[in-house]
Structure 1
Amino acid sequence: MKKLAIVAIVAVLGCQLLALANPDRRVALWLGAVAAATVLLVARWFLVRAAASSIDDSRARDPAESLRRWLSKTEILIARADSTRSDWDKYLRPMLARQFELATGRRKGKDPRVFHATALALFGERLWQWVDPDDVSPTGAGEPGPGREVLAEVLQRLEAI
Protein backbone atom coordinates (compact mmCIF):
# COMPACT_ATOMS: atom_id res chain seq x y z
CA MET A 1 0.00 0.00 0.00
CA LYS A 2 2.94 2.32 0.69
CA LYS A 3 4.22 1.70 -2.82
CA LEU A 4 0.81 2.57 -4.23
CA ALA A 5 0.78 5.88 -2.32
CA ILE A 6 4.27 6.78 -3.55
CA VAL A 7 3.39 5.94 -7.15
CA ALA A 8 0.17 7.95 -6.86
CA ILE A 9 1.96 11.05 -5.57
CA VAL A 10 4.63 10.79 -8.27
CA ALA A 11 1.96 10.33 -10.97
CA VAL A 12 -0.07 13.35 -9.87
CA LEU A 13 3.03 15.54 -9.51
CA GLY A 14 4.32 14.35 -12.89
CA CYS A 15 1.04 15.25 -14.58
CA GLN A 16 1.08 18.66 -12.91
CA LEU A 17 4.64 19.30 -14.08
CA LEU A 18 3.75 18.28 -17.63
CA ALA A 19 0.69 20.51 -17.54
CA LEU A 20 2.70 23.45 -16.22
CA ALA A 21 5.18 23.04 -19.06
CA ASN A 22 2.29 23.57 -21.46
CA PRO A 23 1.65 27.25 -22.32
CA ASP A 24 -2.12 26.82 -21.85
CA ARG A 25 -2.55 26.72 -18.05
CA ARG A 26 -6.17 25.48 -18.14
CA VAL A 27 -4.91 22.02 -19.11
CA ALA A 28 -3.04 21.72 -15.79
CA LEU A 29 -6.26 21.55 -13.81
CA TRP A 30 -7.78 18.88 -16.04
CA LEU A 31 -4.65 16.71 -16.15
CA GLY A 32 -4.33 16.87 -12.35
CA ALA A 33 -7.97 15.89 -11.93
CA VAL A 34 -7.63 12.94 -14.32
CA ALA A 35 -4.46 11.74 -12.54
CA ALA A 36 -6.08 12.05 -9.10
CA ALA A 37 -9.24 10.22 -10.27
CA THR A 38 -7.12 7.41 -11.74
CA VAL A 39 -5.19 7.08 -8.49
CA LEU A 40 -8.42 6.95 -6.48
CA LEU A 41 -9.89 4.26 -8.73
CA VAL A 42 -6.75 2.13 -8.47
CA ALA A 43 -6.70 2.57 -4.67
CA ARG A 44 -10.35 1.52 -4.48
CA TRP A 45 -9.61 -1.56 -6.59
CA PHE A 46 -6.74 -2.54 -4.24
CA LEU A 47 -8.88 -2.02 -1.13
CA VAL A 48 -11.76 -4.10 -2.50
CA ARG A 49 -9.33 -6.88 -3.40
CA ALA A 50 -7.76 -6.76 0.08
CA ALA A 51 -11.21 -6.88 1.72
CA ALA A 52 -12.15 -9.94 -0.33
CA SER A 53 -8.99 -11.76 0.69
CA SER A 54 -9.55 -10.89 4.36
CA ILE A 55 -13.03 -12.43 4.14
CA ASP A 56 -11.42 -15.64 2.88
CA ASP A 57 -8.88 -15.47 5.73
CA SER A 58 -11.60 -15.04 8.35
CA ARG A 59 -13.41 -18.07 6.96
CA ALA A 60 -10.18 -20.05 7.20
CA ARG A 61 -9.84 -19.03 10.86
CA ASP A 62 -13.43 -19.92 11.64
CA PRO A 63 -13.37 -22.35 14.60
CA ALA A 64 -16.37 -24.29 13.33
CA GLU A 65 -14.72 -24.81 9.93
CA SER A 66 -11.46 -25.90 11.59
CA LEU A 67 -13.36 -28.36 13.76
CA ARG A 68 -15.18 -29.80 10.72
CA ARG A 69 -11.87 -30.25 8.88
CA TRP A 70 -10.28 -31.90 11.91
CA LEU A 71 -13.27 -34.20 12.33
CA SER A 72 -13.16 -35.15 8.66
CA LYS A 73 -9.43 -35.96 8.82
CA THR A 74 -9.94 -38.00 11.99
CA GLU A 75 -12.73 -40.01 10.37
CA ILE A 76 -10.44 -40.72 7.41
CA LEU A 77 -7.64 -41.89 9.74
CA ILE A 78 -10.02 -44.21 11.59
CA ALA A 79 -11.32 -45.61 8.30
CA ARG A 80 -7.76 -46.30 7.17
CA ALA A 81 -6.97 -47.98 10.49
CA ASP A 82 -9.92 -50.33 9.96
CA SER A 83 -8.98 -50.94 6.32
CA THR A 84 -6.15 -53.09 4.92
CA ARG A 85 -2.57 -53.26 6.09
CA SER A 86 -1.55 -51.60 2.84
CA ASP A 87 -3.57 -48.50 3.78
CA TRP A 88 -2.05 -48.56 7.27
CA ASP A 89 1.47 -48.82 5.84
CA LYS A 90 0.86 -46.10 3.27
CA TYR A 91 -0.93 -43.48 5.36
CA LEU A 92 -0.78 -44.14 9.10
CA ARG A 93 2.64 -45.71 9.64
CA PRO A 94 4.65 -42.75 8.26
CA MET A 95 2.55 -40.28 10.25
CA LEU A 96 2.89 -42.25 13.49
CA ALA A 97 6.64 -42.80 13.00
CA ARG A 98 7.13 -39.08 12.36
CA GLN A 99 5.11 -38.21 15.47
CA PHE A 100 7.19 -40.69 17.48
CA GLU A 101 10.43 -39.08 16.29
CA LEU A 102 9.13 -35.61 17.11
CA ALA A 103 7.79 -36.59 20.52
CA THR A 104 10.88 -38.43 21.70
CA GLY A 105 13.54 -36.39 19.95
CA ARG A 106 15.15 -39.64 18.77
CA ARG A 107 15.92 -39.79 15.08
CA LYS A 108 16.41 -43.12 13.41
CA GLY A 109 19.22 -41.79 11.24
CA LYS A 110 21.31 -40.67 14.20
CA ASP A 111 21.44 -43.86 16.22
CA PRO A 112 19.18 -46.74 15.12
CA ARG A 113 19.85 -48.77 18.29
CA VAL A 114 18.73 -45.98 20.62
CA PHE A 115 15.75 -45.29 18.37
CA HIS A 116 14.68 -48.94 18.48
CA ALA A 117 15.25 -49.23 22.25
CA THR A 118 13.22 -46.09 22.92
CA ALA A 119 10.42 -47.38 20.69
CA LEU A 120 10.29 -50.74 22.46
CA ALA A 121 10.26 -49.05 25.85
CA LEU A 122 7.39 -46.79 24.83
CA PHE A 123 5.23 -49.08 22.72
CA GLY A 124 6.29 -52.61 23.49
CA GLU A 125 6.80 -55.28 20.84
CA ARG A 126 3.08 -55.61 20.02
CA LEU A 127 2.49 -51.94 19.17
CA TRP A 128 5.92 -51.13 17.75
CA GLN A 129 5.31 -53.42 14.79
CA TRP A 130 2.53 -51.02 13.73
CA VAL A 131 4.64 -47.87 14.11
CA ASP A 132 8.05 -49.10 12.93
CA PRO A 133 8.79 -47.33 9.62
CA ASP A 134 10.80 -50.34 8.40
CA ASP A 135 8.06 -52.93 8.92
CA VAL A 136 6.09 -52.23 5.73
CA SER A 137 4.52 -55.35 4.26
CA PRO A 138 4.94 -55.83 0.50
CA THR A 139 1.78 -57.96 0.39
CA GLY A 140 -0.37 -55.80 2.66
CA ALA A 141 -3.30 -55.42 0.27
CA GLY A 142 -4.76 -58.76 1.30
CA GLU A 143 -4.01 -58.47 5.03
CA PRO A 144 -6.35 -56.69 7.43
CA GLY A 145 -5.17 -53.57 9.23
CA PRO A 146 -4.78 -53.54 13.02
CA GLY A 147 -7.95 -51.52 13.60
CA ARG A 148 -8.91 -48.45 15.54
CA GLU A 149 -8.09 -49.98 18.94
CA VAL A 150 -4.41 -50.22 18.02
CA LEU A 151 -4.48 -46.70 16.58
CA ALA A 152 -6.08 -45.38 19.78
CA GLU A 153 -3.52 -47.13 21.96
CA VAL A 154 -0.57 -45.87 19.89
CA LEU A 155 -1.93 -42.33 20.02
CA GLN A 156 -2.45 -42.56 23.78
CA ARG A 157 1.14 -43.67 24.28
CA LEU A 158 2.41 -40.85 22.07
CA GLU A 159 0.26 -38.40 24.01
CA ALA A 160 1.70 -39.62 27.32
CA ILE A 161 5.23 -38.58 26.35
Structure 2
Amino acid sequence: MKLYVVLAVALIALTELTMLLTPEREAVLIAAGVMAATGVLGVRWAMTRRQDGYDDSHARDPAESLRRWLVRTETLIARAETTRTDWDKHLRPMLARQFELATGQRKSKDANAFEATAEMVFGTELWQWVDPDNVSRTGNHEPGPGREVLDELLQRLERI
Protein backbone atom coordinates (compact mmCIF):
# COMPACT_ATOMS: atom_id res chain seq x y z
CA MET A 1 0.00 0.00 0.00
CA LYS A 2 2.76 2.43 0.92
CA LEU A 3 4.53 1.53 -2.30
CA TYR A 4 1.50 2.59 -4.37
CA VAL A 5 1.28 5.92 -2.59
CA VAL A 6 5.00 6.60 -3.03
CA LEU A 7 4.80 5.65 -6.70
CA ALA A 8 1.80 7.94 -7.23
CA VAL A 9 3.56 10.91 -5.62
CA ALA A 10 6.73 10.20 -7.61
CA LEU A 11 4.69 10.01 -10.83
CA ILE A 12 3.03 13.36 -10.12
CA ALA A 13 6.38 14.98 -9.29
CA LEU A 14 7.98 13.56 -12.45
CA THR A 15 5.08 14.77 -14.58
CA GLU A 16 5.26 18.27 -13.13
CA LEU A 17 9.03 18.40 -13.64
CA THR A 18 8.65 17.26 -17.23
CA MET A 19 5.89 19.77 -17.90
CA LEU A 20 7.91 22.62 -16.40
CA LEU A 21 10.68 21.91 -18.88
CA THR A 22 8.31 22.14 -21.85
CA PRO A 23 7.35 25.48 -23.42
CA GLU A 24 3.57 24.96 -22.95
CA ARG A 25 2.97 25.91 -19.32
CA GLU A 26 -0.84 25.64 -19.54
CA ALA A 27 -0.66 21.85 -19.76
CA VAL A 28 1.08 21.52 -16.37
CA LEU A 29 -2.15 21.77 -14.37
CA ILE A 30 -4.01 19.33 -16.60
CA ALA A 31 -1.17 16.80 -16.61
CA ALA A 32 -0.75 17.01 -12.82
CA GLY A 33 -4.50 16.49 -12.36
CA VAL A 34 -4.49 13.47 -14.65
CA MET A 35 -1.52 11.95 -12.78
CA ALA A 36 -3.13 12.65 -9.38
CA ALA A 37 -6.34 10.96 -10.53
CA THR A 38 -4.33 8.01 -11.84
CA GLY A 39 -2.54 7.72 -8.51
CA VAL A 40 -5.77 7.87 -6.50
CA LEU A 41 -7.44 5.29 -8.73
CA GLY A 42 -4.36 3.05 -8.43
CA VAL A 43 -4.42 3.21 -4.64
CA ARG A 44 -8.18 2.56 -4.63
CA TRP A 45 -7.70 -0.44 -6.92
CA ALA A 46 -4.94 -1.79 -4.64
CA MET A 47 -7.17 -1.43 -1.59
CA THR A 48 -10.12 -3.29 -3.13
CA ARG A 49 -7.85 -6.01 -4.48
CA ARG A 50 -6.29 -6.53 -1.05
CA GLN A 51 -9.69 -6.75 0.70
CA ASP A 52 -10.99 -9.29 -1.80
CA GLY A 53 -8.05 -11.59 -1.07
CA TYR A 54 -8.53 -11.49 2.71
CA ASP A 55 -9.44 -14.83 4.21
CA ASP A 56 -11.49 -14.32 7.37
CA SER A 57 -12.47 -17.95 7.84
CA HIS A 58 -10.18 -18.22 10.88
CA ALA A 59 -11.54 -15.00 12.40
CA ARG A 60 -15.01 -16.52 12.77
CA ASP A 61 -13.88 -19.95 13.88
CA PRO A 62 -14.92 -20.40 17.55
CA ALA A 63 -12.29 -23.08 18.12
CA GLU A 64 -9.54 -20.75 16.89
CA SER A 65 -10.82 -17.93 19.10
CA LEU A 66 -10.87 -20.25 22.09
CA ARG A 67 -7.31 -21.43 21.35
CA ARG A 68 -6.05 -17.84 21.11
CA TRP A 69 -7.80 -16.94 24.38
CA LEU A 70 -6.31 -19.99 26.08
CA VAL A 71 -2.78 -19.17 24.90
CA ARG A 72 -3.16 -15.54 26.00
CA THR A 73 -4.45 -16.61 29.43
CA GLU A 74 -1.63 -19.13 29.92
CA THR A 75 0.89 -16.43 28.99
CA LEU A 76 -0.59 -14.02 31.54
CA ILE A 77 -0.48 -16.65 34.28
CA ALA A 78 3.11 -17.56 33.41
CA ARG A 79 4.15 -13.90 33.60
CA ALA A 80 2.48 -13.53 36.98
CA GLU A 81 4.63 -16.32 38.36
CA THR A 82 8.00 -15.13 37.00
CA THR A 83 9.87 -11.95 37.95
CA ARG A 84 8.63 -8.57 39.00
CA THR A 85 10.01 -7.13 35.75
CA ASP A 86 7.66 -9.33 33.71
CA TRP A 87 4.77 -8.26 35.91
CA ASP A 88 5.68 -4.57 35.58
CA LYS A 89 6.17 -4.80 31.83
CA HIS A 90 3.16 -6.89 30.80
CA LEU A 91 0.54 -7.25 33.53
CA ARG A 92 0.66 -3.94 35.39
CA PRO A 93 -0.21 -1.79 32.33
CA MET A 94 -3.03 -4.14 31.35
CA LEU A 95 -4.50 -4.19 34.87
CA ALA A 96 -4.19 -0.40 35.25
CA ARG A 97 -5.91 0.13 31.89
CA GLN A 98 -8.71 -2.26 32.84
CA PHE A 99 -9.11 -0.47 36.17
CA GLU A 100 -9.39 2.91 34.42
CA LEU A 101 -11.95 1.55 31.97
CA ALA A 102 -14.01 -0.15 34.65
CA THR A 103 -14.14 2.79 37.05
CA GLY A 104 -14.04 5.67 34.61
CA GLN A 105 -11.34 7.29 36.74
CA ARG A 106 -8.35 8.69 34.86
CA LYS A 107 -5.18 9.47 36.73
CA SER A 108 -4.53 12.41 34.43
CA LYS A 109 -7.87 14.01 35.36
CA ASP A 110 -7.80 13.74 39.14
CA ALA A 111 -4.94 11.84 40.78
CA ASN A 112 -6.53 11.99 44.25
CA ALA A 113 -9.84 10.50 43.09
CA PHE A 114 -7.93 7.86 41.13
CA GLU A 115 -5.94 6.82 44.22
CA ALA A 116 -9.02 6.87 46.47
CA THR A 117 -11.01 4.69 44.08
CA ALA A 118 -8.08 2.30 43.77
CA GLU A 119 -7.78 1.96 47.54
CA MET A 120 -11.51 1.22 47.82
CA VAL A 121 -11.46 -1.41 45.07
CA PHE A 122 -8.19 -3.20 45.75
CA GLY A 123 -7.01 -2.19 49.19
CA THR A 124 -3.46 -1.09 49.96
CA GLU A 125 -1.85 -4.50 49.62
CA LEU A 126 -3.28 -5.36 46.20
CA TRP A 127 -3.12 -1.82 44.78
CA GLN A 128 0.68 -1.95 44.82
CA TRP A 129 0.48 -4.56 42.02
CA VAL A 130 -1.79 -2.42 39.81
CA ASP A 131 -0.44 1.07 40.54
CA PRO A 132 1.19 2.31 37.30
CA ASP A 133 3.69 4.39 39.32
CA ASN A 134 4.99 1.43 41.36
CA VAL A 135 7.36 -0.02 38.76
CA SER A 136 10.53 -1.51 40.22
CA ARG A 137 13.92 -0.78 38.66
CA THR A 138 15.49 -3.87 40.23
CA GLY A 139 12.67 -6.24 39.40
CA ASN A 140 14.85 -8.88 37.74
CA HIS A 141 15.84 -10.19 41.15
CA GLU A 142 12.41 -9.93 42.77
CA PRO A 143 9.72 -12.58 42.34
CA GLY A 144 6.36 -11.69 40.83
CA PRO A 145 3.28 -11.76 43.07
CA GLY A 146 2.02 -15.04 41.63
CA ARG A 147 -1.15 -16.54 40.31
CA GLU A 148 -3.18 -16.00 43.49
CA VAL A 149 -2.66 -12.22 43.41
CA LEU A 150 -3.53 -12.07 39.72
CA ASP A 151 -6.68 -14.09 40.39
CA GLU A 152 -7.72 -11.81 43.25
CA LEU A 153 -7.07 -8.67 41.19
CA LEU A 154 -9.14 -9.98 38.29
CA GLN A 155 -11.99 -10.96 40.61
CA ARG A 156 -12.07 -7.48 42.10
CA LEU A 157 -12.04 -5.92 38.65
CA GLU A 158 -15.03 -8.11 37.69
CA ARG A 159 -16.98 -6.89 40.72
CA ILE A 160 -16.71 -3.23 39.71
TM-score, length-scaled by structure 1: 0.67
Number of positions where the alignment pairs a residue of Structure 1 with one of Structure 2: 112
Identify, as 1 or 2, the structure richer in helix: 1
Task: Measure the CA separation in 2 of the matches of 1:59 and 1:97.
Answer: 31
Task: Measure the CA separation in 2 of the matches of 1:59 and 1:132.
Answer: 37
The aligned residue for residue 73 of structure 2 is: 74
Per the TM alignment, residue 118 of structure 1 is displaced from its structure 2 partner at its CA by: 0.2
Task: Measure the CA separation in 2 of the matches of 1:63 and 1:107.
Answer: 34
The aligned residue for residue 83 of structure 2 is: 84
Q: Which runs of 5 or more residues in structure 2 are unaligned?
A: 1-47
TM-score, length-scaled by structure 2: 0.67
Q: For residue 100 of structure 2, give the secondary structure of its aligned residue in structure 1.
A: helix
Runs of 4+ aligned structure 1 residues displaced above 3 Å come to: none
Task: Measure the CA separation in 2 of the matches of 1:107 and 1:61.
Answer: 34
Task: Measure the CA separation in 2 of the matches of 1:95 and 1:59.
Answer: 26
Per the TM alignment, residue 64 of structure 1 is displaced from its structure 2 partner at its CA by: 0.3
Per the TM alignment, residue 60 of structure 1 is displaced from its structure 2 partner at its CA by: 1.4
The aligned residue for residue 22 of structure 2 is: none
The aligned residue for residue 20 of structure 2 is: none
The aligned residue for residue 61 of structure 2 is: 62
CA shift digits 1:71-119 (9 cap, x unpaired): 0000000000000000000000000000000000000000000000000
The aligned residue for residue 97 of structure 1 is: 96
Letter in 1 for 2:137: P
1:140 and 2:139 correspond: yes
Per the TM alignment, residue 59 of structure 1 is displaced from its structure 2 partner at its CA by: 1.5
Letter in 1 for 2:115: H
The aligned residue for residue 108 of structure 2 is: 109
Per the TM alignment, residue 58 of structure 1 is displaced from its structure 2 partner at its CA by: 1.8
1:123 and 2:128 correspond: no
Task: Measure the CA separation in 1 of the matches of 2:63 and 2:106.
Answer: 36
Task: Measure the CA separation in 1 of the matches of 2:97 and 2:59.
Answer: 26
Letter in 2 for 1:135: N
Task: Measure the CA separation in 1 of the matches of 2:57 and 2:88.
Answer: 36
CA shift digits 1:117-152 (9 cap, x unpaired): 000000000100000000000000000000010000
Task: Measure the CA separation in 2 of the matches of 1:77 and 1:158.
Answer: 16
Alignment of 1:24-35 (within 5 A): none
Letter in 1 for 2:77: I
Q: Which runs of 5 or more residues in structure 1 are unaligned?
A: 1-45
- Structure 1 or 2, whichever has the larger Rg, is 1
Task: Measure the CA separation in 2 of the matches of 1:155 and 1:126.
Answer: 15
Letter in 2 for 1:157: R
Letter in 2 for 1:109: S
